[in-house]
Amino acid sequence: MDSFSALPLVVLAEKFAALPGIGMKTAQRLAYAVMEMPQADAEAFAEAILAAKTQIHDCPVCQNLTEQAVCPICSNVKRDKTTVCVVEGPKDVAAIERTHEYDGVYHVLHGLISPLDGITPDHLRIPQLLSRIKEGGISEIIMATNPSVEGEATAMYISRLCKPLDVRVTRLAFGLPVGGVIEYTDEVTLFRALTNRSEM
Amino acid sequence: MDSFSALPLVVLAEKFAALPGIGMKTAQRLAYAVMEMPQADAEAFAEAILAAKTQIHDCPVCQNLTEQAVCPICSNVKRDKTTVCVVEGPKDVAAIERTHEYDGVYHVLHGLISPLDGITPDHLRIPQLLSRIKEGGISEIIMATNPSVEGEATAMYISRLCKPLDVRVTRLAFGLPVGGVIEYTDEVTLFRALTNRSEM
């Protein structure tokens, strides 16, 4: 923000700009919007930020974010505890829940193995996953990491650790996205769609 | 945000979604980003919101936002106090300052006359503008409101109030935007560009 703007506004715009996908122009617009808010709304906004940080912690079972002792999915008796879906982050849990088709539980890694970014397996919640499997009662691990280099490497790495523990390890299917167009589909996806073709 | 997410995260996402131009998807992404921030950064963010609201007030002269007693533009002895540029909001001051070509001062209306939205001249800082003119020392008022229905109406309204006060009232020029393409320019702009044509 320009130096002739009020300093607290510049500081606030910089905070917004530090968020992912928010450029300096948008950050300035948001800072002005905060200025135009009623005082009570601005206070509620500031409190929501602090509340999110202080009240939310990782579920001791699945490592997903929760404000409860154990997250609602892990504490739900109707969920199938024998199937564990392993995902990169809480956003992936939200995405899979939106399908309303999965009734198992999750394990949130909080990242993917990425040696170039300095993220080694030690940074992820892999030991917690192995402990859950060793405690027994789990028959299948679904690797639901992104189809990226890091996602594939993490899935491979965890799969190799899990197999000796006498548990089935599966991977999400890859293929054409529903509503996708073959003409515009990249070669790798098309190759996967061909190899994973199914009987009609 | 989905009901199975941690409640404080849902609340925070709603706060972000209340900001202009931020949809629910982006708001969720930003809420997760706050969760991933170090505690100190989240606290600094919350403080910046409160600081912007408590430390910033309207400059008693030009009504622009400032954290100082009188804003840096009004208190700058090098600025030409005889020329006052009337704008809708603080963002417009920032935009005009970026040209580095204007050395007069400003008057911020904090809105435009818009009867449909219930914004009448009483809601704007028009009395403060008239007081400044009556105090003397101002020779020109530049109406720099947007070329919209509300902007034009506000410019016309203020212009009529100012003229009896023995002050020159001017309006920003309208025409082709620099780098614009005639082929894609709307008729109204093209008509303005034609009528306001200048000698080469």
pLDDT given at position B200: 67
Architecture of the A7-55 domain: Orthogonal Bundle (1.10)
| Beta strands at A168-171 and A140-143: parallel, antiparallel or unpaired | parallel
- Say which of B8, B56, B94 has its CB closest to residue A52: B8
Cα gap A79→A199, rounded to integer Å: 31
* Cα A103 to Cα A105: distance, rounded to the nearest angstrom: 7
Q: Specify the DSSP element, H or E, that contains A168.
A: strand A168-171
Mean pLDDT of all residues in chain B? 89
When CB atoms are compared, the residue of A2, A14, A45 closest to B15 is: A45
Q: At what angle do helices A39-55 and B39-55 cross, to 10 degrees?
A: 170
Name the strand (E) or helix (H) holding B82: strand B80-87
Domain boundaries, chain B: 7-55, 58-199
Instruction: For residue B122, give both structure tokens.
Output: 């009483």
Q: What is the ipTM of this complex?
A: 0.73
For residue B94, what are its two tokens? 């920032």
Position A1 scores a pLDDT of 44
Report the gap between the CA of B51 and the closest CA in chain A (Å).
Answer: 6
Cβ contacts from A onto B, under 8 A:
162
Whether the per-residue pLDDT at B97 is higher than 90: the answer is no
How does pLDDT run along chain A (200 residues), one tens digit per residue? 455 568 888 999 999 999 999 999 899 999 999 988 999 999 999 999 999 888 999 999 999 999 899 999 999 999 999 999 999 998 889 888 888 888 999 999 999 999 888 999 889 999 999 999 999 899 999 998 888 889 889 999 999 999 899 899 988 888 878 777 777 778 888 887 777 777 66
Q: Are B103 and B78 in contact (CB under 8 A)?
A: yes
Q: How far is CA B88 from the centre of its chain?
A: 5
User: Are B83 and B104 in contact, with CB atoms under 8 Å apart?
Assistant: yes
Half-sphere exposure of B121 (CA within 13 A, CB side): 14
Nearest CA in chain A to B37: A53
Task: Say which CATH topology domain A58-199 has.
Answer: Dna Topoisomerase Vi A Subunit; Chain: A, domain 2 (3.40.1360)
B-chain CB neighbours of A37 within 8 Å are 53
- Chain B nearest-CA distance from A174, in A, is 24
When pLDDT is cut at 50, 70 and 90, the band that residue B1 belongs to is very low
Of A12, A52, A97, the CB nearest to B4: A97
Over the stretch B105-116, which tens digit does the pLDDT of each residue have?
Answer: 999 999 999 988
Cβ–Cβ < 8 Å for A4, B72: yes
Residue B102: half-sphere exposure toward Cβ, Cα within 13 Å? 21
